[in-house]
Every structure is written in structure tokens, then in C-alpha cells.
Amino acid sequence: MLLSHSEAESFAMCEQRHYYAFGEKIAPKKQSVSLHRGNDGHSLMQAFFTEYRETHNWGLALKAVEAKYHQQLLENTADPDYQLELTKLLPRVVGFLENYEMRIKAWKIVAVEQEFRLPVSEEFIYPFRVDLAIEEKGLSKIVDWKFTYDFYKPEVVSVLPQIPKYIGALRALGFEVVDGYYGFIRYRAIKNLTGPNQIYNLHPVTPSRQRIMRSFQDFLVTLEQIVEMRRLSPEDWRAKTRRAGNNMICKSCGYAFLCQAELAGSDGKMIRHQDFAPNTYGYSEDTDGS
């Protein structure tokens, strides 16, 4: 059984959202702007680092980003508002790369968007995908891209579980990963912009062994809860779910309208038919991660 980071994250945020996504296996037909932007931003970074890893040519890698951008524009011709978001996203991605050009050129690109799998028990496997794996000054590191309205506060970054958890999983698989970076790119317009450090931040993360172990332990506890829910019938699973009822979570949830309708007494059938489709997110059972 595959249990991913996103499934655990969904469960931790809101059990009802998790039920919709992984119990009913439905997803909004139209992604939120923030999710769409994040996915496309990751795709632009993937295009750059894939080309740069193969050719070691900075100019060709930037052309690969531009080609990916034009592909994204064509894929969103029915949504001119989002096309405008793409025109804002491209210079931010290129700006990040140019801001850290000398540093990036000193990296050895090891892997781009590579999937790994860690057997956690006889019952389930933890699949995860690393945005970028590098060697910097002979040390193995990972990079995770974050497209955000504002930079995260240091106290928030200090409790983010993703990089510590990935480092722990990679070490368990035999990779000597030392630490990592969150690559923050702010997408909002900034008045009185004085320099790139207001837009870009390559934030180092060097978690202690205890931090790594605790992050992974928290993840395992969540996975155990998910396994228990999956063993239930769909009816019992749904009956046991709890809604977050939290402004920060609900305002960005793609299932909020459906959740609201059901709370008001609707069966939600028409909403499911009009606004949702089968959830295609996941990891293939036969992918080996190589």
C-alpha cells in the first residue's frame, strides 16, 4: 500500500478533505490559482535543471524554461486570467535562477524530480519525490521549491517537516544526505522593491538527528491513522471524519463548497457531477523510482 506525503498532509490538515480526495477519490476539475501556480513553477524549474544537468549550458537551460512557459500558455488558452499569472511567474523563476547563477553553477545536479520509495512496514510504502538533489562542495543536499505570497517566518520554517522527513527517508535508503534548502520565490508585486532578497530566498535547513527522527515519527503516526481509516467501509470512514473548520485551511481548500453544501443538508450529487472529476494524483504501483 502506497501512502504519500500529500495524503498524510491532507489528513493532517482536514480529515474531511482527505476523505474526499482519497476516500471518494475525487478532485476539483479546476485547480486553485495557488496550486496551479505552484505546479507550473515546479515545471519551469524542472525544465531548467533537466536541461542544465544534461548539457551544462546555462543559455540552453533558460531556453528550455521559455519553451515550457509557452507550452503552459497554450495549455491555458481557455483561462486568460491564469495566462496573466503565468506571464508574472516566468520572470520570477528566471530572476531566481539569475540571482543564484554563480551558486547554481557550482552545484552538481544529481537528480531532478526523482521519485523514491521507502518500505515503512510490511503493510505500506512511503513514496516521495525530491524536487532537486545536488552536491555542493562535495556534500549531498536536496532542494524543495516554494512559490509563496510571502516568505515563511523563521519560526515556521523551523517546524516544516518536509525536508527533515525527506532527509530521514533518503538516509534510510542509504543516501548520505547532509541537509537541504527551501527555495522561496515570492509571486506578489512588491512596492518599493529594493533588491532581489525581497523576492528570492534560498533558505538553508540543517536539521539535527533528533529533528529528523521526530518529523518522521510524526509522519508515521499520521500514516497509522490513515491505515485505520482505510480499513473501514466508505460509510464508516465518512462518519468518522472531522472537518477542520479553520479559516486558513478552508479558504484555500478545493472541496470547501462541497463541504459547505453537505453541512447545510445537501447530498452534494450535483456539485460532484459539475465541479469534480476522478482524482488522478498518486504514485504508480509499478514505478521503481529509478
Q: What pLDDT, in 10s, does the model give residues 117-162?
A: 998 877 788 889 999 999 999 999 999 999 999 999 999 999 999 9
Taking Cα atoms as reference points, which of 131, 85, 95 lies closest to residue 112?
131
In a domain, 273, yes or no: yes
In a domain, 266, yes or no: yes
**pLDDT, average across residues 60-76:** 97
pLDDT at 287: 42
Give the whole-number percent of the chain exceeding pLDDT 70.
95
Stated as kind and residue range, the H or E segment containing 82 is helix 80-99
Q: Directed axis angle between helix 58-75 and helix 33-55, to 10°?
A: 150
What is the rounded CA–CA span in Å between residue 289 and residue 183?
23
Provide the pLDDT confidence category of residue 192 given band limits of 50, 70 and 90: confident
Provide the pLDDT confidence category of residue 182 given band limits of 50, 70 and 90: very high
Counting the structural domains of the chain, the total is 1
In a domain, 57, yes or no: no
pLDDT over 70 (residue 285)? no
Mean pLDDT of the chain: 90
The model's pLDDT over 219-265, given as tens digits with 9 standing for 90+, comes to 888 888 888 888 888 889 888 888 888 887 888 788 999 999 999 99
In a domain, 140, yes or no: no
What is the rounded CA–CA span in Å between residue 69 and residue 277?
26
In a domain, 75, yes or no: no
In a domain, 248, yes or no: yes
Bridge partners (DSSP) of residue 116 are: 128
Reduced to 3 states (helix: H, G, I; strand: E, B; else coil), residue 40 is helix
- Whole-model pTM: value is 0.86
The model's pLDDT over 11-22, given as tens digits with 9 standing for 90+, comes to 777 889 888 988
Q: Residue 28 in contact with residue 275, Cβ under 8 Å?
A: yes
In a domain, 13, yes or no: yes
pLDDT over 60 (residue 204)? yes
Stated as kind and residue range, the H or E segment containing 129 is strand 125-136
- Residue 242: which domain range? 5-29+233-278
Q: Residue 45 in contact with residue 145, Cβ under 8 Å?
A: yes
Q: How far is CA 6 from the centre of its chain?
A: 8
